[in-house]
Amino acid sequence: MKFIHTGDWHIGKIVNEFYMTQDQEHILMQLVELIREEEPDALVIAGDIYDRSVAPVEAVELLDRIFSYILLELETPIIAIAGNHDSPERLCFGNSILNARGLYIEGVLKNEPARVVLQDEHGPVNFYLVPYTDPPVVRNIYQREDIKCHDDAMKCIIEKIEEKLNKDERNVMVCHGFVVGSEEPEVSESERPLSIGGTEYIKAEYFKAFNYTALGHLHGPQRVGADNIRYSGSLLKYSFSEAKHKKSVTVVNIDEKGNTSVQLRELSPKRDMRVIKGELKELLKPEIYMDTNVEDYINVILTDDGEILDPIGQLRAVYPNIMMITRENTLKRNEPSKTSADAGFKKKSKLELFKDFYNDMTGLEFTEDKTGVVAGIIEKVEREEWRE
């Protein structure tokens, strides 16, 4: 059995006021071509198909086009669940009707978790679909007052599945959550917290009964404790914390004995998301940018000292899709932070206080020229106050 594991499509996403729909269409068409090439038995989407519960029209239309290609032209079944960004009820509307065409979308957790059975030459493969569900809802479904967090909820759900799990057959889990093993997980700024204070974590050990666990939620492709428990990661970069990610989809093969092998197939975005750093005049030199895609989404870190006239305007003349611009001082600021109390601020003049403030904020020397300018301003202000 071969299937392609994906997740976290986030169709309709807006990043720093940039609509990502065109970029998403570009990457999804790559996925379509990859399915045409690999000829898998199914495509798995482990949640967060949309970026928000009420998706914009453009996002719905894009998903309709992509699903139509995959289901009708490539005749590849789609197995999908709702993530924490999706609207469960909207996502699974018409599910029983669409099953006949090979579209299996599970949005709402049931007392008996949904199971999709696909056949290959070696027999059945059972896909158990567990959409994202808040712990209080799971507690109500199973009438278990001891369910307090996501870990409790997933443990209960898997115990329910294992009551009827046939271990002589091949079994795949599809779920959406923050699963952790012995290794530190790689997280991103674009992942919405599922809860506060560590109660979102789920132990990877619960998934040992499955031949493969297809996870969604974390945006970096990674294993969780074992090679057969994996996050496929998002199809695109959605924050600059993901700038170093190599986005991919996971091609999974399960042999007749249930042994699993995986291959990561890298994706190429229309526009990358990257960070550039340096002085303004250097970043504007053609030799710096001529061999790069200037259409990429850019976070610019400027290292110039002093004021700069319209840096965003100058930079956008070269890099039209700048998302962020920040300043960084070239001097290290290793001194401990100061407070007004330990500095004896009441005994200091306004000029001395401003000098301390300037040094703390910039890490630069407060020169004699600057001292003269600020002293003149303070004197002028005090004179005006005296006249009043």
Give the CATH number of the domain where residue 286 resides.
3.30.160
CA 320 to chain centre: 24
Are 251 and 377 contained in the same domain?
no
Assigned domain for 219 exists:
yes
How far is residue 151 from each of residues 82, 203, 215, 331, measured CA to CA in Å? 18, 7, 15, 46
Task: Say yes or no: 354 and 376 in one domain.
Answer: yes
The answer to whether the Cα torsion of 67, 68, 74, 78 is positive or negative is positive
More confident residue, 309 or 295: 295
pLDDT of residue 332: 45
Do the Cβ atoms of 37 and 7 come closer than 8 Å? no
pLDDT band for position 367 (cuts 50, 70, 90): confident
pLDDT band at 331 (very low <50, low <70, confident <90, very high): very low
Which of the pair, 128 or 348, is modelled with greater confidence? 128
pLDDT band at 109 (very low <50, low <70, confident <90, very high): very high
Any idea which of 52-66, 153-167, 180-194, 273-287 has the lowest mean pLDDT?
Answer: 180-194
Is 181 within a domain?
Answer: yes
Whether 261 and 289 share a structural domain: no
* Helices 150-162 and 135-142, packing angle to 10 deg: 40
Residues 279 and 262 in one domain: no
Query: Which segment of 99-113, 235-249, 330-344, 357-371 scores lowest on mean pLDDT?
Result: 330-344
Q: Is the pLDDT of residue 360 over 50?
A: yes
| Whole-number percent of the chain with pLDDT over 70 | 91
Domain end residue (candidates: 300, 327, 354): 327
- The whole-model pTM stands at 0.83
Largest Cα span, the chain: 95
The pLDDT value recorded for residue 352 is: 80
Average pLDDT over residues 61-80: 96
Q: Average pLDDT in the 138-145 region?
A: 95
- Is there a single domain that holds both residue 190 and residue 112? yes
User: By CB neighbour count within 10 A (0-12 exposed, 13-18 middle, 19+ buried), where does 176 fall?
Assistant: buried
pLDDT of residue 194: 77
In a domain, 365, yes or no: yes
Q: Is the pLDDT of residue 104 over 90?
A: yes
Say whether pLDDT at 339 is over 60: no
pLDDT band at 245 (very low <50, low <70, confident <90, very high): very high
Provide the sign of the torsion angle of the four alpha carbons 189, 157, 223, 249, taken in this order.
Answer: negative
Task: Identify whether residues 323 and 353 lie together within a single domain.
Answer: no
The verdict on residue 332 lying in a domain is no
Give the model's confidence band at 340: pLDDT under 50 very low, under 70 low, under 90 confident, else very high: very low
Band of pLDDT at residue 291, cut at 50, 70 and 90:
very high
Q: Are strands 2-6 and 248-254 parallel, antiparallel or unpaired?
A: antiparallel
Q: Which of 220, 248, 266 is the last residue of a domain?
A: 266
Residue 338 forms part of a structural domain:
no
Going by the DSSP 8-state scheme, the letter that residue 294 receives in this structure is: T
Tell me if 335 is assigned to some domain.
no
Query: Stretch 308-334: mean pLDDT, rounded?
Result: 82
- Rounded to an integer, what is the distance from CA 61 to the centroid of its chain? 22
Q: How far are the Cα atoms of 51, 231, 247 from residue 264, in angstroms, in the given order?
A: 24, 11, 9
User: Is residue 101's pLDDT more than 90?
Assistant: no
> Is 250 in the same domain as 277?
no
Least confidently predicted of 34-43, 138-147, 286-295, 372-381: 372-381
pLDDT of residue 43: 98
Structure confidence at residue 384 (pLDDT): 62
Query: What's the rounded Cα separation, in Å, for the pair 170 and 257?
Result: 8
Better-scored residue on pLDDT, 30 or 361: 30
CA distance 182 to 255: 27
Whether 213 and 312 map to the same domain: the answer is no
Q: Residue 329's pLDDT is what?
A: 65
Question: How far is CA 164 from each of CA 63, 167, 304, rounded to the nearest angstrom?
Answer: 34, 9, 65
CA distances from 167 to 44, 117, 162, 258, 347 (A): 21, 14, 9, 10, 78
Same domain, 186 and 322: no
Q: What are the C-alpha distances in Å from 293 to residues 71, 268, 270?
A: 34, 13, 10
190 and 291 both lie in a single domain: no
CATH number of the domain encompassing residue 254:
3.60.21.10
* Domain that includes residue 360, residue range: 345-387
Predicted pLDDT at 346: 53
339 domain residue, yes or no: no
**What pLDDT score was predicted for residue 344?**
57
Q: 3-state DSSP call for residue 219?
A: coil
Co-location of 132 and 262 in the same domain: yes
pLDDT tens per residue across span 198-222: 578 999 999 999 999 999 999 999 9
Q: Which of 7, 87, 10, 94 is nearest to 54 (CA)?
A: 87
Model confidence band, residue 227 (pLDDT cutoffs 50, 70, 90): very high
In this structure, the answer to whether residues 232 and 371 fall within a common structural domain is no
User: Which range has the worst mean pLDDT, 33-37, 38-42, 164-168, 372-376?
Assistant: 372-376
In a domain, 115, yes or no: yes
Q: How far apart are CA 251 and CA 107, in angstroms?
A: 24
The structural domain count of the chain equals 3
pLDDT, mean over the chain:
89
Phi, psi of 324, deg, nearest 5: -145, 150
Q: Does the pLDDT at position 371 exceed 90?
A: no
Percent of the chain with pLDDT over 90: 73
Q: How far apart are CA 71 and CA 168, in angstroms?
A: 30
Residue 322 exposure: Cα atoms within 13 Å on the Cβ side: 19
| Cβ–Cβ < 8 Å for 288, 277 | no
